[in-house]
Chains A and B, each alone.
Chain A
Amino acid sequence: QSALTQPPSASGSPGQSVTISCTGTSGDIGGYNYVSWYQQQPGKVPKLMIYEVNSRPSGVSNRFSGSKSGNTASLTISGLQAEDEADYYCSSYAGSNNYVVFGGGTKLTVL
């Protein structure tokens, strides 16, 4: 059982926007601004998409954005494209003992 809770699936049509949630506690998401999101396309290595809640690494499309409210973080993908179909994992710093915890992943389907 993962420390952070994500919906197992999400979907949207090309061009639409979709938001994936990630719920934790005050000991992780709610306590720190260190939420990250990773995209894992089928058979590939996870790729960093968002760090520190809403920062994008160089090269990541600005269609990807992150936010946080209380104990819940969100990843929004706008202008959905077929290539966005993947599993998405959230993670958060959870204090010095637990360090980083992950969500169980959300499978995004582009209809």
Chain B
Amino acid sequence: QVQLQEPGPGLVKPSETLSLTCTVSSGSIKNYYWSWIRQPPGKGLEWIGYIYYSGNTNYNPSLKSRVTISVDTSRSQFSLKLSSVTAADTAVYYCVRDRGVWQYYFDYWAQGTLVTVSS
């Protein structure tokens, strides 16, 4: 059973960069896609972007200019950076295993971390 772990809740100031890292355990990071999905309080889900273990990425067009996702296979980790954040970026951020091309669904989810953007 794949497990994904994120750090605890975070507070980021407006205009700064949000940074999160997800650690994959009980399974390999290789040969899979890995996505970030967020959920503002009381609202729906939004796909942020994915990275393939080899490093190929794809981002939500609405966030593309501010998002960078990277992977470190030696540590079984992948990371999210979201720059120039505003209050609208306040959300629970989930790292998930993405079944990727020809499947396009998310089968394992981390517990999620609440990131609040506030001064």
Contact = CB atoms under 8 A, between A and B. Distances in A.
Contacts of A34: 103-105
A100 B47 contact: yes
Interface of B: 43-47, 50, 58, 60-61, 94, 99, 103-107, 109-112
Contacts of A104: 43-44
Contacts of A36: 104-106
A92 B74 CA distance: 32
A98 B107 contact: no
A99 B48 CA distance: 10
Which 3 pairs show the lowest CB-CB distances between chains A and B?
A51-B105, A93-B104, A36-B105
Contacts of B60: 98-99
A64 interface: no
